[in-house]
Structure 1
Amino acid sequence: MMKSTKPVVAITLGDPAGIGPELIAKLLDTPGVTEQANIVVVGDHWVWLEGQRVAGVNVATQAIAGLSDVRSRADSSRPAFLSVATIKPEQVQLGQASADCGASVLQVLDRCMDGAQAGEVDAICFAPLNKHAMKLGGLAHEDELHHFAEYLGVQGYFCEFNTLGDLWTSRVSSHIPLKDAARMLSQERIVSAARLIYQSLQASGHPEPRVAVAAFNPHGGDGGMCGREEIDIIAPAVRQLRDSGFPVEGPFPADTIFLKARDGLYQAIVTMYHDQGQIAIKLMGFSKGVTVQGGLPVPITTPAHGTAFDIAGQGTADVNATRNAFQIAARMGHSASQARDQATSNH
């Protein structure tokens, strides 16, 4: 019996009260999806059935007892399904954030990360979750990325990437008050963010990405008249990167750099704080954007939009961003699988 050579991608159903289950049902009903990866859906069986009902589809899956069974399957033409019992139907109210739903999401994600640490999973793609519900359910961090990093024992730099087609963005600071963004700026963090997004783009199939670095202040600081962060911190970081051989340019005023990136001059932009990049990316393609959790030992992706509680259960959710998130997970999972196999062969 020959096992599948495709990367193993674990897919979660997201918050049971949101549009996640419906989106995953639509994704796996899309022709060609199972050709890209050896897929395993992880979640409560009743939530999966409900997602299919809302989406109006019927997806054939293969039940498995554990994530260790996925890679050895002879036939990966249909998704595997790992049933976990985390929540009961009476604990879920559609469109409402709750501790029960948040705890369910955390339990499923942790199960997938356990599989990644055991070498059973090459990438994870999770359907939309709700940070408020997760905090009610026990999340001890500001967001899921910091939970992932602690759970996986990450010691180095990590950050979220937001992607739209061939354009990726990273940010030096993320889910913090805007008044604290300036003190988070440092040459080291900017260098780390640029290096990480460059290497992650390569892992996703872009061999030579060009990276731009955004300024922090209006008009790029106007030569120091409107702030000195560009002179004292950002420009030195760009010089350090270029001296190290990275194709990085900047700093560019943040209100114009996205026009150049939109026209294909750059594949990545390092932004200085959350909304500096998020507003532009979401305006250019809200229904297509993807969030990639950068700097982790396993690729983790998700659609950039949220749980859309206002349309949960209606069957109208747009699957485009979820499909894009899965495709990035599959590509990066393939790269991770190849790297692991190469390391094994060297030993």
Structure 2
Amino acid sequence: MSGGSPAEGAVTRSSQRPVVALAMGDPAGISPELTARLLARDDLREAARIVVIGDRRVLEDGAAVAGLVLDIEEVENPAAPTAPGHSALLGGGRLDPAAIRRGTAAREGGAFALANYRLALGLAAAGHVDAVCYTPFNKAAMKLAEPSYGDDAVHTAAVLGHAGPVSEFNVLGRLWNARVTSHLPLSEVAAQVTEGSVLRGIRLTASSMRAAGFSAPRIAVAALNPHAGDGGNFGREEIDVIAPAVERARRADGIAVEGPFPSDTVFLRARAGLFDAVLTMYHDQGQIAMKLMGFDRGVTLLGGFAFPITTPAHGTAYEIAGRGVADVGASLNAVLLATEMAARRTT
């Protein structure tokens, strides 16, 4: 597929369905409801074998919020058979939902999500599942449970003992957003934008997109400074750092990459179809644009790992937890992207 990606919401059907470990996220938010809504979808069960990791009581609480009754069978390993139409539940973190106050970050909730996620990662690393997806985490709760917790990509690399480059990607249909820097104070961004870090970002973007079905992804690189530095009047990072990295990626690696472009217009070019991805210099430079274009549809992909890891790009939505109104669109897209990428790895 040249310069293209799987259609958003498209369901992959094959004789050998990928196995996706679905780790339940923060129980105080909409994660239990989203998990239940995913399991109720016939099209998703046709696309992949979903193995939920968590506590039956939390899942059933989420199903009650969603107004659903689920057929769930607890299994001891992901390969254990279940009756037709039944979903598999593998015990992870143990938690009585009555002990959690909805809409409030708590150590117990963070510990539950961490236990589920680590089990899912271990299963994927051992080859027992093909991909990992997780419903939203709350970073405050995660840090209460584990004070050293930084962000999802860094934590995942630590759990897996992965030493290579990793990054979060935001995916909205056919458009991807990558970052050179991620979760750090804005005051530290400029020092972290080096020719090497920009080049790593371009290379990781290209390789991750190829794994998702792009044969020749077209990447636009955003500037750091206003008006792309205005020829050096507003900063020289574009001249001294970003442009050399772009040229090196184009000449040495054969990557279809251009830039740096002013960050206030680069997403207009990408949305018009001129590029498949935008590599931004810092977190909100891309996140704001992507969430404005599709808050309820966006997916976060953790790139650089040996297997697909995805989650909805939105958060735990504490303000609507327990109301039964959570939109499952982004979570569905997250599982489908993981499924599609896993299918490509196994064929």
2:101 and 2:83 map into 1 onto residues whose CA distance is 37
Alignment of 1:166-177 (within 5 A): 166-177=174-185
CA contact (8 A) 2:103 2:318 kept: yes
The answer to whether the aligner puts 1:28 opposite 2:36 as a matched pair is no
Query: Is 1:181–2:189 an aligned residue pair?
Result: yes
The SS at the match of 2:265 is helix
The separation in 2 between residues aligned to 1:332 and 1:78, in whole angstroms, is 24
C-alpha distance in 1, partners of 2:150/2:92?
26
Residues 22, 55 of structure 1: 8 Å contact kept = yes
1:81 and 2:92 are equivalent in the alignment: no
CA offset at residue 327 of structure 1? 0.8
Q: 1:245 aligns with which of 236, 254, 271?
A: 254
Asked if 1:214 is matched to 2:222, the reply is yes
Q: Relative to 1, partners in 2 of residues 1:75 and 1:194: Cα closer, same or farther, differing over 3 Å?
A: farther
Q: Is the 8 A contact 1:35 1:77 kept in 2?
A: no
Q: How does 1:187-226 map to 2 (within 5 A)?
A: 187-226=195-234
- Residue among 300, 310, 326 paired with 1:291: 300
1:64-109, Cα deviation, whole Å (9 max, x unpaired)? 1123x25xx4877643211235222332111110001001111111
| In structure 2, distance between residues paired with 1:316 and 1:310 | 11
CA contact (8 A) 1:203 1:331 kept: no
Q: Distance in 1 between matches of 2:139 and 2:147?
A: 8
SS at match of 1:181: helix
- Counterpart residue type for residue 320 of structure 1: G
Is structure 2 residue 271 aligned with structure 1 residue 258?
A: no
Equivalent residue of 1:32, what SS? helix
In structure 1, the residue matched to 2:9 is: none
Aligned amino acid, residue 248 of structure 1: V
Superposition pairs of residues 38-187 of structure 1, within 5 angstroms:
38-67=49-78, 69-70=79-80, 73=81, 78-187=86-195
The CA deviation at 1:223 is 0.7
2:92–2:115 CA contact under 8 A, matched in 1: no
Task: Report if aligned partners of 1:152, 1:297 keep a CA contact under 8 Å in 2.
Answer: no
How far is 1:121 from its partner? 1.4
Give me the whole-angstrom Cα distance separating, in 1, the residues matched to 2:99 and 2:17: 37
Measure, in 1, the Cα distance between the counterparts of 2:37 and 2:138.
20
Q: How big is the shift at 1:122?
A: 1.1
Change (3 A) 1:284 1:100: same
CA contact (8 A) 2:82 2:88 kept: no
* SS at 2:177 equivalent: strand
Match of 1:230 in 2: 238
- The CA deviation at 1:137 is 0.6
Report the 3-state secondary structure (helix = DSSP H, G, I; strand = E; otherwise coil) of the residue aligned with 2:346.
helix
The whole-number CA distance in structure 2 between the counterparts of 1:282 and 1:37 is 27
Amino acid at match of 1:49: E
Report the counterpart of residue 16 of structure 2 in structure 1. 5
Q: How many residues align?
A: 332
AA at the equivalent of 1:99: R
Deviation, structure 1 residue 221: 0.5
Letter in 2 for 1:231: I
CA displacement at 1:168 relative to structure 2: 0.5
Aligned to 1:345: none
For 1:277, the equivalent position in structure 2 comes to: 286
- What's the TM-score once normalised by structure 1's chain length? 0.92
Query: What 5-or-longer segments of structure 1 have no aligned partner?
Result: 339-347
Contact 1:139–1:147 at 8 Å: present in 2 too? no
CA contact (8 A) 1:98 1:136 kept: yes
Distance 2:180 2:341 in 1: 22
User: 1:210 and 1:75 mapped to 2: Cα distance?
Assistant: 45
Q: Is the 8 A contact 2:22 2:50 kept in 1?
A: yes
TM-score where L is the length of structure 2:
0.92
Aligned to 1:344: none
Structure 2 segments unaligned to the other structure (5+ residues): 1-14
